[in-house]
Structure 1
């Protein structure tokens, strides 16, 4: 059998129709994960009594189990013990799964970035009359954001690729579309090489944006 180049080209318009769903999942997951990760990082950094142990447990679980297992637990398992989640659709389950999974990783990156800021910065801020919260907001966190940006962008890129697992829940995105086309034509290599090239192109685009962002953030240094 020979590679059907024309078939692969004809697949791109079909697959591109689902690119919006893929990017929507990744962007929503990243925004929510960033919010949760920020809270977890603060709890872990300052070891807030009662919450630190819960934060450590959360991070340990979601870093220590596969994303696919977490998606199945959310979509298939959770409704069995909590009926309120019976109406949870596949798209929402995928976004929640991506959010929880990557927030655990991002929290540790943010915490490391906060700890990476010289402690003298906090002492200097306190010495001129700032409160600890003001120093964190105005001095520490802006510097920590510059340090954490490369790893956070890498997690976003990884999240884009991880959206391909959403097809296991029935979400109509790029991977599920490629699977359907391959099943109907039996041209699996052509179908999956097309989807691989789309993911590759998206990742290259965001990698380029990441390099521009890092260059801008580091300009003052």
Structure 2
């Protein structure tokens, strides 16, 4: 047989034990990245002097360099020059890298959603004496959130898949567990096929949720 199905069946529960760690890293990174992305997007939209230029450089760097390189910088590079990073573990480095990398992408998506709000909404808020922050919090962001939600969920799906890079930092998540099992049994095809199928199942479940969300948002806009 090309595939050892019995070995694959026995490997499934082994890999599933690491699903909570994989999802935990993704959820933590997504939560922090979302907050950071909103702040970055608002700074870009309001064109805050000096800080806006720094934010633009931040976004350009993290969008313009590979995630794997960024992870290596946090885990292997920065500890050589910054003492505080010497005690960082693989999970923390992975979550940090995922957070900053995806915050840069999400900030641009949120900025686009904010700029897509009709200008009359801004003018109406300003006419009743709202500050820019009040206007953003009460009127603009709630509308922009509905526009950006499907895209942000798509980034979360990409983030889950990107957690597989954490094994390069010594983190034993799903990919790391599959690598260890494959190295011990030399059944690389079976091990990596199992982990691929598990990732696929998770992504399909989230993609289904994304489609349902898009349908609901479409109905809301139709009204």
Specify the TM-score bucket, using the shorter chain as the normaliser: over 0.9
Other-structure match for 1:144: 144
Q: State the secondary structure of the residue aligned to 2:220.
A: coil
Map 1:29-40 onto structure 2 (within 5 A): 29-40=29-40
Deviation >6 Å, runs of 4+:
none
Other-structure match for 1:87: 87
Q: How far is the alpha carbon of 1:125 from its aligned partner?
A: 2.2
Residues 143-163 of structure 1: per-residue CA shift (max 9 Å, x gap): 100111111111100000000
Unaligned runs of 5+ in 2: none
Map 1:39-188 onto structure 2 (within 5 A): 39-188=39-188
Other-structure match for 2:10: 10
The answer on whether the counterparts of 1:146 and 1:218 sit within 8 Å (CA) in structure 2 is no
Q: TM-score if structure 1 supplies the norm length?
A: 0.97
Q: State the secondary structure of the residue aligned to 1:53.
A: helix
The answer on whether the counterparts of 1:79 and 1:86 sit within 8 Å (CA) in structure 2 is yes
Unaligned runs of 5+ in 1: none
Q: How far is the alpha carbon of 1:217 from its aligned partner?
A: 3.0
Other-structure match for 1:208: 208
Aligned residues: 221
Residues 22-43 of structure 1: per-residue CA shift (max 9 Å, x gap): 0000000101111111111011
RMSD: 1.1
Q: TM-score if structure 2 supplies the norm length?
A: 0.96
